[in-house]
Amino acid sequence: MSKYRKRTIEKSLNSLIGNCPVIMITGPRQVGKTTLLNHLSATSDKKINYVSLDNILIRTQAKEDPELFLRNYETPLIIDEFQYVPELLSYIKIKVDKARQNEMFGDGKNVGTLYYLTGSQVFQTMKNVSESLAGRIGILDLYGFSTRELENIEEDTFIPDINILRSKEKVSMKSTSEIFEKIINGSYPEVNNDNGRNKEQFYEAYIRTYIERDVRQLINIKDETKFIKFISSVAARTAQEYNSFDIANDVGVDSKTIDEWVSILKNTNLIYMLQSYSNNNIKKAIKRPKIYFMDTGLACYLTGYVNSKTLELSAYNGAIFETYIISEIIKSYTNNGKDPRTRLYYYRDASQKEIDLLVFYDNKVYPVEIKKSANPGKAALKNFNVVNKFGVEVGNGIVLCMMEDIIAIDENNYYVPIEYI
């Protein structure tokens, strides 16, 4: 059995324990949600009970009599795969409110954390959570391993401020071929453990399980082949603007169906939609989001790449490299308990001026370009001046690339090795 690997999110989790009666860990299948909470249980000085709703008999009991189900398990309690029985929410609310009343008017016993929930971030489940447990729940998103987690290096949110970057510990330098080997392997724990599973076998089983357990819970798929064709078509478009009509033409369904299916990928955390930035000062900004697969290994599997050298030499290499960088940056936020949606954007306008990433921090905007090159050249900065129209203070710009060291391009822009993410 592989040794437990420390997760950055533990710090955020520990800050919620005792302060939130309910804690929910959401994320795609097999990224380590259950392992994280089992580790918490094993290292806690207080017994934490566990039940999984993946078990069909237990799930049936919970659906048929939620009140009795909760009464059968002492708190604190981990409820794994919670999305299968969202009916439990209202009963958990009753339990939490009663405990709070006892704390305030009864025995004065601190409520602490009563329930730990794990599950996919299915839209309806999250809507019910927000409505039923407002003010009672802390929610954390977990994805596969980040590079810093794999190398056991401290991980903070990625801030492009050059002074912050210079004080940051770099991850180990890698050649381009090593980077593409990492990209094609992806970030799932089972593939990255010391006795890592064969990636092709893993991803084949992953897609099958995902469709059978997550997708079928949300929609009635009449043609499974078309859904697989759809998800492969989306993977081929990672790092591109979302266009439902293009995907619909590929798959052979209407664009409304594509929108529905994309919503499933988004709400089960397989993809991330990076929103375009616009405000009242910008008249011609494109509003479509860009799609990024959150696991590059899965994207490569779906697009037919099994060899890292073939991937490196392919026309797909730029898009998957950008996807790797963006997903690492997103993880740096979610792993630290912060919502990237309020901090990360991209920019493109009707004049085709585009900036790969905008990072908002401390009331400043930082433009970021991503280049799969050791010498991108000053042309990488050509669109940075558009941020001056935003009406917000502008920080330094950076070009994330394959250089070995941070190098000043001019007085306000820098080449930065990707090892500083």
Mapping DSSP onto H, E and C, the string for the chain reads CCCCCCCCCHHHHHHHCCCCCEEEEECCCCCCHHHHHHHHHHHCCCCCEEEECCCHHHHHHHHHCHHHHHHCCCCCEEEECHHHCCCHHHHHHHHHHHHHHHHHHCCCCCCCCCEEEEECCCHHHHHHHHHHCCCCEEEEECCCCCHHHHCCCCCCCCCCCHHHHHCCCCCCCCCHHHHHHHHHHCCCHHHHCCCCCCHHHHHHHHHHHHHHHHHHHHCCCCCHHHHHHHHHHHHHCCCEECCHHHHHHHHCCCHHHHHHHHHHHHHCCCEEEECECCCCCCCCECCCCEEEECCHHHHHHHCCCCCHHHHHCCCCHHHHHHHHHHHHHHHHHHCCCCCHHHCEEEEEECCCCEEEEEEEECCEEEEEEECCCCCCCHHHHCCHHHHHHCCCEECCEEEEECCCCCEEEECCEEEEEHHHC
Digit-coded pLDDT (tens) for 387-405: 999 999 999 999 999 999 9
Q: Over the stretch 2-41, which tens digit does the pLDDT of each residue have? A: 688 999 999 999 999 999 999 999 999 999 999 999 999 9
* pLDDT score recorded for residue 217: 74
Is a pLDDT exceeding 80 seen at residue 107? Answer: no
Assess whether pLDDT exceeds 60 at residue 292.
Answer: yes
For 333-354, the pLDDT digits (tens) are 999 999 999 999 999 998 889 9
pLDDT in tens, 261-282: 999 999 889 999 999 998 877 7
pLDDT of residue 368: 98
Residue 196's pLDDT is: 65
**What pLDDT was estimated at residue 27?**
93
- Look at residue 121 and tell me whether its pLDDT is greater than 90: no
Read off the pLDDT of each residue in 154-174 and give the average, rounded to a whole number: 96
Q: What's the pLDDT tens digit per position in 54-98?
A: 999 999 999 999 999 999 999 999 999 998 898 898 899 999 999
pLDDT at 326: 98
pLDDT digits (tens, 9 = 90+) for 218-249: 777 778 889 999 999 999 999 999 999 999 99
pLDDT band at 414 (very low <50, low <70, confident <90, very high): very high
| pLDDT tens, residue by residue, 143-154 | 999 999 999 999
* Mean local confidence (pLDDT), 200-212: 91
pLDDT of residue 280: 79
Portion of the chain with pLDDT greater than 90, in percent: 78
Higher pLDDT residue, 7 or 109? 7
**135: confidence class by pLDDT, cuts 50, 70, 90:** confident
